Structure 1
Amino acid sequence: MELPPRLTVQREQKVCRLLKSLYGLKQASRQWFAKLSNALISYGFVQGNSDCSLFIKKSESSFMALLVYVDDVLLASDSILEIERLKTFLDEKFTIKDLGRLKYFLGLEVARSKNGISLCQRKYILDILEDTGLTGSKPAAFPMESTLKLSANDTNLYEDPSGYRRLFGILLYLTLTRPDLAYSVQVLSQFLAKPTVSHHQAAIQVLRYLKAIPGQGLFFPSSSDLQLKGFSDSDWAGCVDTRRSITGFAIFLGNSLVSWKSKKQVTISRSSVEAEYRALATTTCEIQWLLYALQDLDINHSQSALLYTDSKSTISIATNPVQHERTKHIQIDCHLIREKLQQHVLKLFHIPSRLQLADIFTKPLGSLLFHHNLCKMNIINIHVHLEGGYWSLPSHIESMELKRKEERLKIERKLEDES
């Protein structure tokens, strides 16, 4: 290494000797994680099976969970004394900086109350609007028009493709706390190679939607059961270019939304039933991974997970292996649903399409149904008073919400009686 500029030492020719480096070297991050994980394991932590960045330490008197993101660490425990001991140990090993109680982490804002915990990215969104010059733009009520069909064959190319790609990266990070952006970002990500003017206009629509409710985010209520519930849905041949279907799912732990996805399927489905069945298999894999994560966190989930779909044909295929003629063209790995049903890992139920919460991840919805689904997912805006009260739920949505809540309770009671 060379001496820094303007640093001169008379009569000596010396260079800097590199002692430690975290950034800039290809193997630096790997070596750093190996050093940190070895230190944590020597302290008594066990690396999680579901997530290699999760470390667990259990004893008769305490429980600690530690989550690592490069050189940032989140620590949770039921013992303040154990937390202080661990911080002392890490400070001796690595010289850490203690930021106190969790309030802001990698762009995520955390707010606590007796009712629960709220996660949002309001500051991050406001910075995005300022950088893109859309702070004074007209707000939009939804991120994508329900009739919009974007195609890669559009010839009117956008003049700044690198700017579009940067904007997509920003929007992708927002999906950590904004499930309402999952479908829109999934669609816009397909045109990174050659974005067009229409694609850029659709991205601006998403930013205008963020302008309306920048403080919206996830809410995890403090009083909730530990029952896993999943909603699986698919939009058959939703992509106008490839005719592939869109998989969407939403998984709840009690009343808290903990996992969701909107993704194009890797193969073309010959029927809507096949598309729904593939989506169901993807949701089943996610539920199984969440069960492993709960085991790592020492949470006992002995009951079967509940999985809802609006396709009766899919339920018939999953529960009846005799239907060979209808399923012989479907890949074998999709039939893991039957295995999980036989192992009582999950129970499969049919719900009406109007109650399908995963519908928001498979297609752009109208304003009424879009915001109804968001209400059911416990996505709220705790900063609404700071935003001039711009966004308030219309009275007709509130009345519809109460009506559909009563319908859902009737269906759940009926399903409990049948099971």
Structure 2
Amino acid sequence: MLDDSFKIKDLGQLNYFLGIEAFRSPNGLNLCQRKYTLDILQENGFLDAKPAKTSCTQGHKLTSTDGILLQKPEVFRRLVGKLLYLTNTRPDIVYAVQQLSQYVDKPRDTHLAAAHRVLRYLKGSPGKGLFYSSASQIKLQGFSDSDWANCTETRKSITGYCIYLGNSLISWKTKKQATVSKSSSEAEYRALASTVCEIQWLIYLLTDLNVQCSTPVALFCDNRSAVAIGENHVFHERTKHIDIDCHIVKQKVHQGVIKLMSIPSHKQIADGFTKPLPIAFFDTFHTKLGLQDLHAPAYGGVMK
């Protein structure tokens, strides 16, 4: 139909587009940016670097004052820009890149060292990417989390969420909240509001594609106070300052769009989008993202 109206060219099965490599199999679709990652490593001289097990050091906080200003800040800016594009298929580096992107204005040597840590982590598995199973259920579920007062300079919190369609990760985000939260419950609730808006948008998108998604969508949160606020239709004095977010979450709960579910912190997948994790927890977080490396020697379907 398009060919009758426009001059188009059928490029055949999708294999490579804007740096993203696609590989189809009866089991599903794999998306990765292996060549793009290797080009970044080569450009920065990290092809022979020792791999790191995590994308950032646990407990290390970046600031705008520690370290020496870079004489060539464009090197850092270019690297962060490329890493931002890489997060399209590597959600495991989203938190680290979000932290780095805050310092592109006046980068320091400590920021560049943290960026190099991300490169060392990527060196361990440059071909890793997202896998979308062909047997996945048409069922949304979300995980919402926050790290209260994460920023040492502004004391703003970090919102992190991830949303799955069946077992496939389709949406994720790490972002500093716009305002300072007075409690961890408030920070968690603001993260819930952001996640609810994303879930509603995904439901609209699936509807436009004539795909019916079952509701309510399970939304998991590891803060019992935030869950209680979302399910309670009575506004308390302590929640007046977050009433807009309250209205959003409460409305969707009342309409049956979402169902708030409490989850233990050690099972919260979105935890890795809000803070640096120790190796053991990071490995668990990494596993649950559904990443797959077709180029790994141990994988049977190696791409050549």
Equivalent position SS for 2:30: strand
Residue 262 of structure 1 pairs with residue 177 of structure 2: no
Match of residue 396 from structure 1: none
Normalising by structure 1, we get a TM-score of 0.70
**Whole-Å separation in 2 of the counterparts to 1:302 and 1:194:** 47
Alignment partners' CA distance in 2, 1:97 and 1:226: 32
- Supply the RMSD in Å over aligned alpha carbons: 1.4
Tell me how far apart the structure 1 counterparts of residues 68 and 117 of structure 2 sit (CA, whole Å).
18
Letter in 2 for 1:301: C
Tell whether 2:160 aligns with 1:245: no
Q: Show CA shifts across 1:235-270 (max 9, x none).
A: 000011111000000100000000000000000000
Q: Deviation digits for residues 52-77 of structure 1, max 9, x if unmatched? A: xxxxxxxxxxxxxxxxxxxxxxxxxx
**2:302 equivalent in structure 1:** none
The one-letter code matched in structure 2 to 1:178 is R
- What residue identity is the alignment partner of 1:237? A
* 2:4 corresponds to 1:89: yes
Number of the residue aligned with 1:366: 278
Question: Quick check: which has more Rg, 1 or 2?
Answer: 1
Equivalent residue number for residue 292 of structure 2: 380
1:218 has 2:98 as partner: no
Provide the rounded CA distance (Å) in 2 between the counterparts of 1:247 and 1:333.
Answer: 14
- 2:125 is the alignment partner of 1:125: no
- Per the TM alignment, residue 98 of structure 1 is displaced from its structure 2 partner at its CA by 2.7
Q: For 2:18 and 2:122, how far apart are their aligned partners in 1?
A: 19
Deviation above 4 Å: which 4+ runs of structure 1?
none
Structure 1 gaps of 5+ residues are 1-84, 388-419
CA contact (8 A) 2:145 2:191 kept: yes
Task: Verify the 8 A CA contact 2:186 2:242 in the aligned structure 1.
Answer: yes
8 Å CA contact 1:308–1:350 kept in 2: the answer is yes
* Corresponding residue number in structure 2 for 1:299: 211
How far has the Cα of 1:321 moved from its partner?
Answer: 2.8
User: Distance in 2 between the 1:245 and 1:335 partners?
Assistant: 21
For residue 113 of structure 2, the aligned residue among 192, 195, 201 is 201
Cα distance, 1:303 vs structure 2: 2.2
Which of residues 185, 188, 191 in structure 2 aligns to 1:273? 185
Distance 1:341 1:323 in 2: 15
Tell me, in whole angstroms, the C-alpha distance in 2 between the residues paired with 1:194 and 1:154.
11
Cα distance in 1 for partners of 2:116, 2:35 equals 19
CA distance in 2, matches of 1:331, 1:350: 21
* Residues 13-412 of structure 1 aligned to structure 2 (within 5 Å): 85-86=1-2, 88-89=3-4, 93-94=6-7, 96-385=8-297
2-side partners of 1:321 and 1:174: how far apart?
A: 42
1:263-309 deviations in Å (ceiling 9; x for gaps): 00000000000000000000000000000110111001142111000
Aligned length: 299
- Cα displacement (A) at 1:322: 2.2
User: 8 Å contact 2:67–2:110 — kept in the other structure?
Assistant: no
Distance 1:272 1:385 in 2: 44
Q: Is the 8 A contact 1:281 1:335 kept in 2?
A: no
- Check the 8 A contact 2:67/2:109 in 1, yes or no: no
What amino acid sits opposite 1:107 in the alignment? G
**Aligned partner of residue 275 in structure 1, secondary structure:** helix
Structure 2 counterpart of 1:151, one-letter code:
T
Residues of 1 paired with 2:246 and 2:275: CA distance? 23
Q: Distance in 2 between matches of 1:262 and 1:236?
A: 13
